[in-house]
Amino acid sequence: HKYSVNACVLDCKMALKPQETDHSKRKSKVVASLGPASWDEEMIPKMIEAGTDIFRLNCSHRRGGDFERVYPLIRKYSRMLGRRVEVLGDLQGPKFRVGELAGDPIQLVEGEILEFGICKDDNDLIRPGRITMKPTTEQLALIKACQVGIDLLLEDGIMKVNVVEKISDTELKVKISRGGKLKARKGVNVPDCEIDCAALTEKDIEDAEFLLQLDPPVEYICVSFAQKAQDLQELIDIMDRLKVPAEKRPKICPKIEKPQALTNIQGIIEKSQALMVARGDLGVELELERVPFAQKLLIAEAKKAGLFVINATQMVESMIEAPVPTRAEVTDLQNAIFDGADAVMLSGEAASGKFPLESVRAEADAILEAETVRDFLKPQVLDGAICDEANKPRELDDSKRKTQVVASLGPSSWSEEMIPKMIEAGTDIFRLNCSHRRGGDFERVYPLIRKAAKELGKKVTCLGDLQGPKFRVGELAADPIVLTNGDILEFGISKDDNDNIRPGRITMKPTTEQNALIRACKPGTPLLLEDGIMEVTVVEKCSETELKVQVLRGGKLKARKGVNVPDVEIDCAALTEKDIDDAEFLLKLDPPIEYICVSFAQKGQDLQELIDIMDRLQIPPEKRPGICPKIEKPQAFTNIEGIIEKSQALMVARGDLGVELGLNRVPFAQKLLIQRAKQAGLFVITATQMVESMIEAPVPTRAEVSDLCNAVWDGTDAVMLSGEAASGKFPLQAVMAEASATREAETVKHRLRQACPYVSVNASGSMALHPPRMVNCGMALKRQETDHSKRKTKVVASLGPASWSEEMIPKMIEAGVDIFRLNCSHRRGGDFERVYPLIRQAAKDLGRKVECLGDLQGPKFRVGELAGDPIELKNGDILEFGISVDDNDNIRPGRITMKPTVEQKALIAASKVGTDLLLEDGIMKVNVVEKLSDSELKVKVIRGGKLKARKGVNVPDVEIDCAALTAKDIEDAEFLLQLDPPIEHICVSFVQKAQDLQELIDIM
């Protein structure tokens, strides 16, 4: 990471930099897990060409000779394609699973008490009232390690039981904390236990031996569930036993998936050459919400030690079923690179998903783009942070949460029954999406929101979201048409109701906005169809309503699919007739709505249209909603200052922004927008595909939780749910997931720097986009700077006999002194009265700004005078240590004395048994063993030496109850305060508390 605070000032227009497409520049690696979707002879070269740098052989699935068949293919095609491709063997590690069922899956009901133990025989299967595990070495160790109070998580934490009684080393009684339906062979996790069993099972040892005998050697071997350094030593011992030579030994890569590993990370790192942040089991054991912070800490710690770091699990989970990643997944990938990861891994996406090649390309494209902007962003992990910080308890008190959850209302959530439940789940703002305003739904829902919020005593606000101009192709004349790369087509406005889409012609309805779109297009303009799945480019402009286009990226075109034109500012009103009607409805609501969103805002004037409606309706200032532009067009970045000027909030609307700007440019754009809007004092909402998977699933993916947390760490004020809350199957769970993730992110925000530095206002449009230079040793040979007019750091020089003569003072100034120190310890004989005017005169004569600092001596603690010669203090001797009884009570063998000043009396009075007293700057040390009175101590010599007269005494562990300013200090302060011209600084010595400074203020 090469961030430099002096590199440059950022600007929102930087988000418009061209996307990097040259993969020869990419340094971060893509790790692809091999499996049925990707490991045949036809697919392996395609996977390499798509961008795979490391293939993962998952030993959990090593069977039937697949590895023996696949490994030579990887090496063969890597060589044929001239690519460097590495291989990583991943040992399964100890697995903990419940056993088989006696009958049907059993229902676990919260509060019930069950038996939980090791199978007594083959017939001791799971049944109502009893859960069993097979008697493997590892599972015996698990039950043995459990104590009363330990939680056991079943099926990735979907169910949870708590140990209430330990009957034996093989039998427990457990209480169900979180219920569900338990099936056979589901995983068991025990986060709070370090399980005393070997890290490598018999299967792991066999797999490791296989991997270590491959030729050429495998480059990495992963040890799963590593908890401590010894777990890795087991693999080293196998290498030693097999006499694997040093040059053929694979890099050892522990998978961090247990909380104990965070505590023992230094020992683990010492035996490793790589490290994997394995977010799957780590998310179960640590809990999902705590993983993003742990990820940042682990990457930082491993990189500091020079390890190769892989970030893994659910990176692009949606691509098991879909050909493109979600916004959250791309943001998660890029944040891993911003954090310093060297590689990102595909699991099921590449091994068994429907789109393995697309998954590799998606990761490669995202991380390549992240590398181009990484060095503009600050490293987030603070110096001195330790990985064990991630083991902090999860925050469960939602009343502490400041980040707000915005939930879009729709059929899944807007019933009278659901609205109060949505509020109780954590919704702070309800979004009324005017795209779906029809049939009186808003008129019915709005009063329900206000009523439910009032009854629950919660502050809930509302946001009305205007649809904005929509651009869509028209109707089909018949079936969907296939667009083939290279074809030339007509693309224009429908001439009549029969001019519909057909082979060779695409049409759009003649709305004001769509007429303006065609009019704005020029040869070379790209048009994106159906969220960018298809793309055509204008090759000829036939008229203001007709174009000729060439297909660049084909597909099957259906009716009413969206059209985006990223490179064109379309000259039409920001608010359509529908938007004006919707705005008037929203502005008349009582009580007033709090925010109105303007979609596709491109410039300040687009927001003025809404302000003009408020003016026309004579909405008083106190009832005007906050204007919230949705940033979803590239043009908005160029005109961001004008937009901000007319706004009170801002939404990073990643849906259309991802289409227009390109998915891989959105994460950096998001950071710039949040930072600039926060600098301007706006309320910021981050939106679209935050927890997209929760439309169908009850829990978010690791990528989605990471995306939420990073949005909070970037400074967002709110995160938004769209389809997840409006039409998904789990709206309440989606709200709770966002609330939980953002709440947890807030608890560690103070332990991270904000990644995005200051974003400038009105920076030059011609600002060069160059990352800071890489540091190299040759830079040490730069010319020495000799121009002292450039120096900002000041030199303070203490005056004394060597420097305070009339001849020396101007020479000291010319040599570079900026501040002269007058040390009041040596104020005597009129020296200060003589020197001070000389300083001022010399500075004036030389035309230099020179300041003065008066340094008060403060209370001094010193031993007294000697009765004879210096005395020898010997380790272990017991001595008297006290205030002189009279002028003859001086230092002698067996007794150390101090003069009876106010301060020194206070020192002895404050000392207690166990207090250390340091003599002569700590050269000698004595410890109080007995307190005889407030003026007498018995001390033991801890560190001896030869004690002379008037040597200093320091007492580190004691706050001495005496005035900070002695009688001498008060006299010196009065002298300094009456100097003319005034002295610039006064130092108070030995400050312990604010009151010590108040004493000087009182003199002033």
Residues in the chain: 1004
Burial of 708 (0-12, 13-18, 19+ CB in 10 A): buried
- DSSP symbol at 376: G
- Considering the candidates 13, 26, 29, 56, report the single residue annotated as catalytic: 56
Contact 676, 759 (CB under 8 A): yes
Contact 15, 50 (CB under 8 A): no
Contact 702, 290 (CB under 8 A): no
Token pair listed for 949: 């007269």
Token pair listed for 506: 């695409």
Mapped onto helix, strand or coil, the DSSP state of residue 657 is: helix
- DSSP symbol at 796: E
Q: Is 313 noted as a catalytic residue in this protein?
A: yes
- Considering the candidates 62, 186, 255, 437, report the single residue annotated as catalytic: 255
How far is the C-alpha of 496 from the C-alpha of 509, rounded, in Å?
9
Burial of 489 (0-12, 13-18, 19+ CB in 10 A): buried
- Considering the candidates 17, 95, 97, 166, report the single residue annotated as catalytic: 97
- What does each C-alpha distance from 913 to 451, 917, 929 come to in angstroms? 66, 11, 5
Nearest 5°: phi and psi at 30? -105, 125
Angle between helical axes of 731-748 and 291-304 (0-180°, round to 10):
40
Q: Is 440 left (phi over 0), alpha (psi -120 to 50) or beta?
A: left
Mapped onto helix, strand or coil, the DSSP state of residue 141 is: helix
- What does each C-alpha distance from 747 to 290, 709, 755 come to in angstroms? 10, 11, 17
Q: What angle do CA 798, 799, 803 make, to 5 degrees?
A: 125
Neighbours of 18 (CB within 10 A): 9
Token pair listed for 906: 């206070």
Q: Which residues contact 580 (CB under 8 A, 6 or more apart)?
A: 613
How far is the C-alpha of 1004 from the C-alpha of 995, rounded, in Å?
14
Contact 943, 924 (CB under 8 A): yes
| Side-chain half-sphere exposure of 297, counting CA atoms within 13 A | 24
The tokens 């590495």 sit on which residue? 86
Mapped onto helix, strand or coil, the DSSP state of residue 819 is: strand
- DSSP symbol at 698: S
* Single-letter residue type at 753: R
- Considering the candidates 52, 201, 263, 313, report the single residue annotated as catalytic: 313
Beta strands at 481-483 and 555-557: parallel, antiparallel or unpaired: antiparallel
Token pair listed for 597: 């969103």
* Single-letter residue type at 98: V
Q: What sign has the CA pseudo-torsion 972, 978, 983, 988? A: positive
Token pair listed for 241: 């036993």
How far is the C-alpha of 724 from the C-alpha of 426, rounded, in Å?
14
- DSSP symbol at 624: P
- DSSP symbol at 12: G
Query: 765-768 — which CB contacts under 8 Å span 24+ positions?
Result: 765/13, 765/638, 767/8, 767/11, 767/13, 767/14
* Single-letter residue type at 239: M
- DSSP symbol at 664: G
Would you list the DSSP string of 249-263?
PPEEEEEE-SHHHHH
Instruction: Provide the strand spans (E) within 313-403.
Output: 343-346
What value does the CA radius of gyration of the chain take, rounded to a whole number of Å? 36
Nearest CA among 278, 363, 288 for reference residue 312: 278
Q: Is 97 noted as a catalytic residue in this protein?
A: yes
Q: Which positions are catalytic?
A: 56, 97, 255, 313
